Amino acid sequence: MICAYVYLLVFIRILLADLAEKILLIHPYFRGITNPFGVQGAMVMAGAASLVGMFGNLVFAAIKRDRGVKVWSHLIPGQGGIIDQLDSVVFAAPIFYHLTKFFWAA
C-alpha cells in the first residue's frame, strides 16, 4: 500500500512537470495574441474599466432611486433586471474603446 502511494506520488509529479513544461512552452505564443497591451497596459486598462464600471453602477442606482424603481425588468429571475446586469458595462465599454483607440491605435 505504501509503495503504491509513493509510486503514484512520483508518477503524478512527473506527469504534472511534463504538462507544466508543455504549457510554459506554448504560453508566450498565446500571450501575444490575447493581450496586445502588454502587462502594464493590461493592468491600466483593467483598472480604468473597473473604476468606470463602479461609477456606472452608482449612476444607474441613482437613476433607479430617483424613479422609484427596484428592478428594471423581470427577464432574469433572481438576478435583477437586464439593465441591472449591464449597468457597469454600459459605462466601461465606451471608455475602454476610446482608451484603446487613443493609446494603442495602429
CA 87 vs. chain centroid, Å, equals 16
pLDDT value at residue 97:
92
Same-domain check for residues 8 and 50: no
Q: For residue 16, what are the domain limits?
A: 1-34
Q: How confident is the model at residue 82 (pLDDT cuts 50, 70, 90)?
A: confident
- DSSP-derived letter for residue 36 is T
pLDDT in tens, 31-81: 555 667 777 888 888 899 999 999 998 998 898 889 887 766 666 666 767
Same-domain check for residues 28 and 53: no
pLDDT value at residue 37:
78
